Structure 1
Amino acid sequence: MSSKNSETIFISLSSMAVFKNLFFFPGSVFDQLKKMLEERKNLKIVLLLPDKVYYGKYSPFFSSVAGEQFAIEVAPAPAAFENFFQKVFYFFFSYLIYTDATRVFATLGFRPDEPPAGGKRYLAPVKWFIANTFGRFRIIKVSLIPFLFYRVSRQRPFSNLFEKYKPDLVFTPHIYGRYDMRLLAEAKRSGVKTLGMISGWDHFDKYFLPFRPDVLLAQSAHIKKMAVNLQCYEDDGVKIVGYPHHDFISDERYKMSRGELLKSLDFPENARYLLYISGSVYSPDEPDVIETMLRWIDEGRLGPNLFFVIRPYLGGRGADRNFDKKKFERFEEHPRVRFYKREFWGDLEKSIYFVNILRHSSVTMTMFTTAMLEAMVFDVPMLINIFDGYHKRPLRQSIRRYAFNERFEEVFATGAPKVIGSFEELFSALDAFLKNPKLDSEKRERFRDKVLYKSDGLSSQRVIEHIKKALYG
């Protein structure tokens, strides 16, 4: 540990989602950490990046805080397994839980264009057996797995940095990723205080994670419940803070007038529009659904002056983007359709624009993704599609398989968003919400309370309060 006259914080940035959650917007967690640096001259922050690609992408953002109180370290950590024994060990502890999400991964797969479990579907019974035998014993998860981890994983990619800086606190905001897993392991080995978060709402119900930070900062009671029930957290070791980047989404300073937004989209001043957030390869039959909705609009069945905004999937794979390009090209020339194709999270101006597209839509339609959470910040009707257009697909290829997931139980219980299983249900829901936008408003409020916690603009501040408490008591 460092001397009492100074404090050092390690923070990792190993995922684009972390940059979105904690860094890029005014008033973010990192913005408030910069103010702490100004107020406390004995405080030092060390940002850990996994490789030179991350350094090249993100280091310009931190140029304004360069100095003795701030340092960036590129600290690669091996993602690959070091040997066969380590591979077997990782397999073993990962399947100490076997949830509905795990089962889908193991038996059905999440991408219809790839075989389940990388072609190793035959291992599903083994995974189930591990969870239902060894996984029943808390002592194995909490004590034995960390003990074995240090003996199986001999490499210590962060040990030199711990020796160099002697941190007082390690903050790992992406504990689902292997990079943060190794960093958390080193902090635990060194006896350093730890804070942690998951960077997405779907990270606790897939696999078991071997290490738990001293304090987990959960975005909602929904996530806290999964942490306690699936990942062996103690109730008092999980503190609910909200979704930090929702501070930005709900900030009225960035609100565009409806007229200004409609003009930017080249829509009439009295227009209404549906926002469709694509699921790309995960939802191959979207053209059926969009084409049918456009036909209803053209026929006037959904009322006058109705338009369409499509946001294609902005995933990392080039093949997915090409898939979307082919899937949606038929709608490019439709006079009622606009596309929003720019990547936005991380770019303030583009993010402001897309948030306003969310804010002013009459109805938003998507899959079970984080986009659903972001759209639900606003009291806009939300539809979730779980049918395959005009196709009759087996469950292994059907969009229906995404609904088999523990984290959706509480979502379904709120009654919002509205889950759509057929064209008949789709028309009925669109017609009802367009006629009465306040329909089910109380259900959406229940969703925000149960699944989002608070959209009061103070989530980032709550994270900072826990950082201060960990450092100073």
Structure 2
Amino acid sequence: MKTIFLFIPHYVFSSDLLHTDFIKGLSKSYQVIIFSPIFKSNPPENYYQSPNLKYIIWSEEYPKFWLFFTKTLRLALIREFDQLKYFQLRRLMKINLNWQRKLLRTISWFIPRKLLTVDFFTKLEYWLLPASKKFRAYAQKYHPHLIITCTPGFNSIDAEAIIQAKKLKLPTASINSSWDNYTANAVQFRKTDYLVSWNKVMKKEAIEIHHYPENHLFVSGVYRFDHHFQHMNSTPSPNDSGNANAPTRIKQRLTREEFLKNKGLDPQLKTLFLTTVPPNTYPPQYEVWRQIIKMREEKKLREDVNIFIRLHPNDLAEKYTEFQGLKNLHIELAGKKLETTGSSPHKIEMDESDLDNLRYSLKYTDININFRSSLSLEATIYDQPMINIALYDYANRYDVDWYIPIIKSGGVKLVVTAEELKQAINDYLTNPKLDSEGRKKIFADYVIFNDGQSYQRGIAAINSIISQLTP
């Protein structure tokens, strides 16, 4: 049986890969050695067990090295992607420009743009990063056929694994980058030999922006969306309720009334689903939530509504204490709160029950309101109306490469004033099918698959990669 090394940097990726069918399917064909810092706070016995799986506590060995290259050198000096809208916005807004980055950015203008590329910095990291005795020891012990990272080096765990693999001439593949990563994180690419992407839009970006050869690219779909379709496509057996081995998502069948009552909400009312972002991403969001609550209290909406607030894993729960106890208003975390790991800020992990909860949250609410969120993709699975908020002069934050097509699709309403927000809510309360054609386009371009088999396509891509590598 061939061996794969899989690196999991933080809880976002353990939610995607260790709490879905992906790891179950992968371990049927390979011995998988999983390296992650999360096992310090959430021990391996809490994850899927198989004789073909081994969980190893792992942290980056040179965090200061990666902090310097990632947060200072690459951000300040690489101008290879200045044509991308996101980096134009960063320059315009002077985002994260401390004195060091300002100085280095000035110096970069005197160096030909074609010299300071991600490939140059990857080579520099390869030359300067000390070889890891620990990594080599595991490689000599298990003889991996492929090193798999979640991203092509966007965090220190993935970056270090890729560079150490290169030092040992081991092939690499990245399998779970998010839809905005190839543009927003372009300067952080440490190119893996192979790349598995969510959709064809990302595949096109990998070719045109990052110059990957097409035969090294694969499209899987979104692993974290599989559970939606598995539930839709399944027909539970009458015996499932008493069968401990029945799939979790098939056993748990809540009606809309049951779900909303469990949240302390009124099933007779429609529900606004407010999904938050980290505080530094959109600081005015708390004032926007206050305005929506005020609209409801002052009866400015066409009908009374429930308000369901789902906190982003990196949002601050204490910001919502003022809303606690309000009638027909529910606030909850996205998943289980755990200790942070290493240099990652992520502290929320979603297991199978949390994925179930999210599925019902989208299925049984009526309007999604968010700031530039990936939930704008996920909500299209249920044709849920979406409002993108940009109050307080934040409209230009939507002028970024990955989100421009979403706005142009006509599948969302972008609102910049409280009056526009109120009107959008009322429009969708009146006619939830409004802008449905645009939402179908978003689904077709970004979600693509509705068979619940993205994890199988991901595994098939890995099979294909290993076949290419095997003489």
Partner secondary structure for residue 204 of structure 1: helix
Q: Which residue of 2 aligns with 1:24?
A: 19
Query: Among residues 202, 211, 218, which one is paired with 1:223 in the alignment?
Result: 202
Identity over aligned pairs, percent:
18
Q: Which residue of 1 aligns with 2:384?
A: 380
2:163 is the alignment partner of 1:159: no
Query: Among residues 417, 422, 426, which one is paired with 1:422 in the alignment?
Result: 417
CA distance 1:457–1:122, shift in 2 (3 Å): same
Query: Among residues 145, 152, 171, which one is paired with 1:168 in the alignment?
Result: 145
> Whole-Å Cα distance in 2 between the matches of residues 63 and 427 of structure 1?
45
Partner secondary structure for residue 381 of structure 2: coil
Q: Which residue of 1 aligns with 2:273?
A: 275
Is the 1:17–1:200 contact (alpha carbons within 8 Å) kept by the matching residues of 2? no
1:174-323 equivalent positions in 2, closer than 5 A: 174-175=151-152, 176-205=154-183, 206-252=185-231, 253=250, 256-281=254-279, 282-315=281-314, 321=316
CA distance 1:91–1:22, shift in 2 (3 Å): same
> Whole-Å Cα distance in 2 between the matches of residues 64 and 417 of structure 1?
41
Aligned-residue CA RMSD in angstroms? 3.0
User: How many angstroms does 1:146 deviate by?
Assistant: 4.3
The one-letter code of the counterpart of 2:213 is E
CA distance 1:193–1:334, shift in 2 (3 Å): same
Is the 1:387–1:399 contact (alpha carbons within 8 Å) kept by the matching residues of 2? yes
- TM superposition score normalised by structure 1: 0.81
- Structure 2's unaligned 5+ residue stretches are 232-249, 337-348
> Whole-Å Cα distance in 2 between the matches of residues 414 and 422 of structure 1?
21
Is the 1:93–1:209 contact (alpha carbons within 8 Å) kept by the matching residues of 2? no
User: How many angstroms does 1:411 deviate by?
Assistant: 1.6
User: How many angstroms does 1:84 deviate by?
Assistant: 8.2
1:341-356 equivalent positions in 2, closer than 5 A: 341=333, 343-344=335-336, 345-356=349-360
How many aligned positions are there?
A: 431
Partner secondary structure for residue 180 of structure 2: coil
Is the 2:75–2:187 contact (alpha carbons within 8 Å) kept by the matching residues of 1? no
Q: Which residue of 1 aligns with 2:247?
A: none
Partner secondary structure for residue 190 of structure 2: coil
Partner secondary structure for residue 196 of structure 2: strand
CA distance 1:421–1:184, shift in 2 (3 Å): same
2:55 is the alignment partner of 1:72: yes
The one-letter code of the counterpart of 2:33 is V
User: How many angstroms does 1:141 deviate by?
Assistant: 4.9
1:119-134 equivalent positions in 2, closer than 5 A: 120=100, 122-123=102-103, 125-126=105-106, 129=109, 133-134=112-113
Deviates more, 1:231-240 or 1:418-427: 231-240
Is the 2:150–2:177 contact (alpha carbons within 8 Å) kept by the matching residues of 1? yes
Is the 2:173–2:195 contact (alpha carbons within 8 Å) kept by the matching residues of 1? yes
2:436 is the alignment partner of 1:441: yes
Q: Which residue of 1 aligns with 2:452?
A: 457
Is the 2:363–2:382 contact (alpha carbons within 8 Å) kept by the matching residues of 1? yes
Query: Among residues 62, 65, 81, which one is paired with 1:81 in the alignment?
Result: 65
1:261-299 deviation line (CA, Å, top 9, x unaligned): 122123333221101112352333334333333333334
User: How many angstroms does 1:118 deviate by?
Assistant: 4.0
The one-letter code of the counterpart of 1:223 is M
CA distance 1:341–1:20, shift in 2 (3 Å): closer
The one-letter code of the counterpart of 2:292 is M
Q: Which residue of 1 aligns with 2:32?
A: 45
1:137-167 deviation line (CA, Å, top 9, x unaligned): 9xx655x554443222233352222222221
Q: Which residue of 2 aligns with 1:360?
A: 364
CA distance 1:433–1:209, shift in 2 (3 Å): same
> Whole-Å Cα distance in 2 between the matches of residues 159 and 295 of structure 1?
60
Query: Among residues 316, 319, 325, which one is paired with 2:318 in the alignment?
Result: 325
